[in-house]
Amino acid sequence: MANFLKKMLRAYGPDRVQASCQFTTAGTGQPSTFNLNGVVSVVRSGVGLYTLTLLDSAKEYHVSVSRQSTAALADNQAVIGTINLQAKTIIITVASAGAAADTTGITLYVTIGVRVGN
């Protein structure tokens, strides 16, 4: 188990930890990431798709996403997609008018509850 989870286990109890990150979309380019906490990377993996890779595997993840954008982008939304426990990845889709879209300037705040024990 990585040092990150060992520290977090002491803080949150024997089987629950929290990971988080923030990123800003950049159209067809890679997103700008900041405040990675237990998240190794965030990469654009397709039109409107962003793959988050976590530091450690877990028994389950509970994911929440909130967004901040300008008024011009207000009708865009972020949707949590595939969660792969073995690969330690979470896919988030940014959609506009109901379809995946490459947008610029939307900041997503992702919080991940991680269950590592029973």
Measured from the Cβ of residue 5, the count of other Cβ atoms closer than 10 Å reads 19
Nearest to 50 by CA among 19, 77, 89, 105: 89
Closest CA to 54 of 100, 16, 28, 87: 87
Please give the residue range of the domain that contains residue 99: 3-115
Kindly tell me if the per-residue pLDDT of 108 is higher than 80.
yes
Answer whether 76's CB lies under 8 Å from 95's CB: yes
Give the number of domains in the chain. Answer: 1
Residues 65-89, mean pLDDT to the nearest whole number = 82
Confidence bin at 18 (pLDDT 50/70/90): confident
CA distances from 52 to 55, 73, 78 (A): 10, 22, 13
Quickly state the pLDDT bin for 75 (edges 50, 70, 90).
confident
Q: Which amino acid is at 12?
A: Y
Spatial neighbors of 85 by CB under 8 A, at least 6 apart, are 57, 58, 59, 60, 61
Q: Residue 1 above 50 pLDDT? A: no
pLDDT at 9: 47
pLDDT of residue 13: 58
